[in-house]
Amino acid sequence: MVNHVERFAPGPTGLLHLGHAFSALTAYDAARKAGGRFLLRMEDIDTTRARAEYEDAIFRDLAWLGIEWETPVLRQSDRFDAYRAAIDDLDRRGLIYPCFCSRKEINAALSAPHDTGAEGGPDGPAYPGACRLMPRDPSKLSHRPYAMRLDMGKAIASLGGAGIVKKLSFKETGKGPRGETKKINLDPGYLIELCGDIVISRKENPSSYHLSVVLDDAFQQITHVTRGQDLFSATSIHRLLQALLGRPTPVYRHHRLITDEDGKRLAKRDDARSLEALREQGATPQDVRKILGLGA
């Protein structure tokens, strides 16, 4: 049995850049060093933005970098039934509720004079809870688009309360004093006050990143998740969902972010910094590794 399974899970909504290369190569190198497996997943749940041409470009870029992956490639767009089943389970347990608020309405509520500020969790300021206590109206559900949100307070209570949730933890590679793996416990206060009632499914999509990544990592039997430091703040949410849904918890590695010369994080919309552009300019995979500070 292979005890080290890594994955790279890009969204086919743009061209890959150096930040993606760093994440993919770090995961691939770790899998090879451990004699493990490396999987590729297309996070194409946003069907309005996902494009076949971008998926093809991802395949070309990864192959150019010398990365090999197992086939077939898992696509989120093939897993909508699995997401709906998990949502139905949470709904039966009374842990989620429909939210009809628009982004404009949420922003207006967050900017009200009584609001404490814009600080928040991985999704920004915590949802103010306008729909949490509203009675469920079947007519609204059939005639108005809505998201489903996790009632964070009920979710924590369902696991035994804050005292039990504090004992939930995940392992983070490289966080110890000497770079070793460190156990990080959940903070119920952070989950309730800063993360709040996170979106589980969106008005336009049958799932959210938080739900799908937990379900997909479990489905693919991922043992080690390598991703950017910007997602570290979401890991407590994912650990909570793993507990709620009975899914395993992988070991995490949140690596440094790759930025431009101004210290700004790279984005897909900047095609001039894409791997495709670097390749056309004559760069080699070895050049990319050197730029990223990775060994051959």
pLDDT at 63: 98
Mean pLDDT in residue range 212-239: 98
User: How far, in Å, are 25, 106, 114 from residue 110 at the CA level?
Assistant: 40, 6, 9
Residue 3 lies in a domain: no
Does residue 270 have a pLDDT over 70? no
1: confidence class by pLDDT, cuts 50, 70, 90? low
Residue 101 lies in a domain: yes
Residue 61 lies in a domain: no
Mean pLDDT in residue range 216-227: 98
pLDDT, tens digit, 9 for 90 and up, residues 236-256? 999 999 999 999 999 999 999
From 155-159, 168-172, 258-262, the region with the lowest mean pLDDT: 258-262
Residue 276 lies in a domain: no
Would you say the pTM of this structure is higher than 0.85? Answer: yes
CB atoms within 10 A of CB 237: 24
pLDDT at 269: 67
Distance, CA of 248 to CA of 134 (rounded, Å) = 33
pLDDT at 135: 87
Q: What is the CATH number of the domain that holds 140?
A: 3.90.800
User: How far, in Å, are 40, 52, 154, 205, 272 from residue 267 at the CA level?
Assistant: 20, 19, 36, 23, 10
pLDDT at 265: 81
**DSSP string for residues in 208-260:** -HHHHHHHHHHHTT--EEEEEGGGGGGHHHHHHHHHHHT----EEEEEPPPB-
pLDDT at 141: 74
Query: What residues make up the domain containing 96?
Result: 92-219
Measured at the alpha carbon of residue 112, what is the angle toward residues 109 and 115, in degrees to the nearest 5?
A: 95
CB burial readout 144-178, b (16+ within 10 A) else e: eebbbbbbbbbbbebbeebeebeebebebbebeee
Mean pLDDT in residue range 44-64: 95
Residue 96 lies in a domain: yes
- For residue 295, give both structure tokens: 């060994």
Mean pLDDT in residue range 189-218: 95
Rounded to the nearest 10 degrees, what angle do helices 209-219 and 235-245 cross at? Answer: 60
pLDDT at 163: 98
Dihedral in degrees, nearest 10, Cα atoms 207, 209, 213, 216: 30
DSSP state of 133: T
231: confidence class by pLDDT, cuts 50, 70, 90? very high
Residue 294 lies in a domain: no
To the nearest whole number, what is the mean pLDDT of the chain?
92
pLDDT, tens digit, 9 for 90 and up, residues 88-109? 999 999 999 999 988 888 888 7
Give the closest residue to 249 by CA, choosing from 257, 261, 241, 259. Answer: 241
User: How far, in Å, are 83, 86, 128, 154 from residue 79 at the CA level?
Assistant: 7, 11, 31, 27
Does residue 116 have a pLDDT over 50? no
Number of domains in the chain: 1
pLDDT at 184: 97
Dihedral pair phi/psi, residue 168, rounded to 5°: -70, 145
Residue 260 lies in a domain: no
Share above pLDDT 90 across residues of the chain, in percent, rounded to a whole number: 77
Mean pLDDT in residue range 207-228: 98
Residue 289 lies in a domain: no
